[in-house]
Amino acid sequence: MKHSNNSILSRFGFRFDNGSAHTARTMMLEDLQLLLSYVNHPDSSKNDYLKAIKEDNCLGKRSGKTRILTSRYLVYLYSLDSSTTIFKALRYFWERDIEGQPLVALLCSYSRDSVLRLSKPFIEQLKEGEIITREALEEYIDKKEPNRFSKATLKSTAQNLNATWTKSGHLIGKVKKVRSKAIATPGSVSYALFLGYLTGVRGESLFVTEYTSLLDSSKARLIELAEDASHRGWIVFKRIGNIMEVQFPNLLTAQEKEWIHEQN
């Protein structure tokens, strides 16, 4: 994910640092699901989320230390801040499209986690039904980032990445991982289009970004699902032949529109 306007994209909640939650955790889908059903108001503040994890122990963690670490990794992956554009949009689609939650979580964490982004080409080049070993992913990461990780960290990172791609539907299997097809939904497609839109992509090109490619779907299917989301009133999608326009009137504040304008 290389963008020339990283400083503006950082305002929206994208992350470009070298860090990763995946050296220690997966994308934490179950924790996120529990947290967002416990703190169930879309306007809740970051402090509300942190209090729910650390004080109320809504995630049922055994020790104070684990609660603190859990909150830190969840913030890293999702920001948990309703004033952050990409988290606010995550909540919007999350509540409206239960089936799409795993892919929505993947899209958000992908926008914020460098090592998850690093692993994407490896997963995408696998054919459906192909077996993937942890060792192969370790080798791939080590080639891309030589000597960055110790052997132990490399192993846990590859394990966590495999678990994340399993939660999102790109892999199946407990011990033996096999490439499968993720199942796109109207909400996950809308969120992928929105992330592309924030990076400055417009029109038909929104259907062929790094975000939509995470959805394992043909362009025709993505368009179908965008039309569905538009009928539901989640996004605005207009199409005349090959001329397409996608808008997000429910998701952008005046300030955010100004940042988009600056970027253009």
pLDDT for residue 175: 83
Q: Could you list the residue range(s) of the whole structural domain that residue 131 is in?
A: 114-179
pLDDT for residue 84: 96
Please tell me whether residues 171 and 88 are part of one structural domain: no
Please tell me whether residues 123 and 136 are part of one structural domain: yes
DSSP β-bridge partners for residue 177 = 132
- The answer to whether residue 75 is domain-embedded is yes
Phi/psi for 209 (5° steps) reads -105, 175
The overall average pLDDT reported for the chain is: 95
From 179, 201, 224, the end of a domain falls on 179
pLDDT for residue 80: 98
Please tell me whether residues 38 and 72 are part of one structural domain: yes
Q: Are 157 and 184 a contacting pair, CB within 8 Å?
A: no
Per-residue pLDDT averaged across 63-71, rounded? 97
- 131-166 pLDDT tens trace: 999 999 999 999 999 989 999 999 999 999 999 999
From 123, 155, 179, the end of a domain falls on 179
Please tell me whether residues 69 and 93 are part of one structural domain: yes
Instruction: Report d(CA 15, CA 140) in Å as an integer.
Output: 22
- 75-123 pLDDT tens trace: 999 999 999 999 999 999 999 999 999 999 999 999 999 999 999 999 9
Two tokens at 259? 């940042």
The residues, ordered by sequence, that sit 6+ positions from 241 with a Cβ below 8 Å of its Cβ are none
Residue type, 7: S
3-state DSSP assignment of residue 171: strand
Phi/psi for 171 (5° steps) reads -130, 155
- The answer to whether residue 82 is domain-embedded is yes
Please tell me whether residues 100 and 138 are part of one structural domain: no
Instruction: Report d(CA 244, CA 66) in Å as an integer.
Output: 47
Q: Are 237 and 248 a contacting pair, CB within 8 Å?
A: no
Please tell me whether residues 107 and 148 are part of one structural domain: no
For the chain, what is the domain count? 3
From 137, 161, 179, the end of a domain falls on 179
Please tell me whether residues 136 and 94 are part of one structural domain: no
pLDDT for residue 4: 57
Please tell me whether residues 22 and 88 are part of one structural domain: yes
Please tell me whether residues 210 and 239 are part of one structural domain: yes
- 32-61 pLDDT tens trace: 999 999 999 989 999 999 999 999 999 999
- 158-205 pLDDT tens trace: 999 999 999 999 999 988 899 999 999 999 999 999 999 999 999 999
Scanning the structure block, which residue is given the tokens 């955010």? 256
pLDDT for residue 66: 97
Please tell me whether residues 29 and 108 are part of one structural domain: yes
Residue type, 209: T
CA dihedral 205, 208, 211, 212 (to 10 degrees): 120
Phi/psi for 237 (5° steps) reads -125, 120
Residue 2 reports pLDDT greater than 70? no
- The answer to whether residue 205 is domain-embedded is yes
Please tell me whether residues 166 and 197 are part of one structural domain: no
- The answer to whether residue 1 is domain-embedded is no
Please tell me whether residues 61 and 21 are part of one structural domain: yes
pLDDT for residue 1: 61
CATH number at residue 219: 1.10.10
Question: How are beta strands 243-247 and 171-172 bridged, if at all?
Answer: unpaired
Per-residue pLDDT averaged across 20-31, rounded? 97
- How far is CA 160 from its chain centroid? 15
Phi/psi for 29 (5° steps) reads -60, -50
